[in-house]
Structure 1
Amino acid sequence: MNKSELVDTMAEAADIPKTAAAKALDGFIDAIANALKEGDTVSIIGFGNFTVKERAARTGRNPQTGATIQIAASKSPSFKAGKALKDAIK
Structure 2
Amino acid sequence: MTRSDLVELLAERFGQLTQRDADAAVKTILDAMSDALVRGHRIEIRGFGSFSINRRPPRLGRNPRTGESVHIPERRVPHFKPGKALREAVGAQPVDSDERTPDA
TM-score band by shorter chain is over 0.9
CA distance in 1, matches of 2:35, 2:90: 29
- Shift of residue 17, structure 1, vs aligned partner: 1.3
CA distance in 2, matches of 1:2, 1:37: 22
- Larger strand fraction of residues: 1
Gaps spanning 5+ residues in structure 2: where?
92-104
1:11 corresponds in structure 2 to 11
- Shift of residue 73, structure 1, vs aligned partner: 0.2
2:21 corresponds in structure 1 to 20
TM-score by length of 2: 0.81
What is the identity percentage for the equivalent residue pairs of Structure 1 and Structure 2?
39
CA distance in 2, matches of 1:43, 1:55: 22
Structure 1 segments, 4+ long, off by >6 Å, are none
Aligned 1:1-90 pairs, distance under 5 A: 1-15=1-15, 16-90=17-91
Alpha-carbon RMSD across the aligned residues, in angstroms, is 1.0
- Shift of residue 74, structure 1, vs aligned partner: 0.7
- 1:62-88 alpha-carbon deviations (Å, 9 max, x no partner): 111111100000101111111111122
Q: Match of 2:64, SS? A: coil
TM-score by length of 1: 0.92
Q: What amino acid sits opposite 2:7 in the alignment?
A: V
CA distance in 2, matches of 1:88, 1:10: 21
| Higher RCO (Cα < 8 Å, 6 or more apart) | 1
Q: What amino acid sits opposite 1:19 in the alignment?
A: R
- 1:1-48 alpha-carbon deviations (Å, 9 max, x no partner): 221111111221233211111111111111111111111101000011
Aligned residues: 90
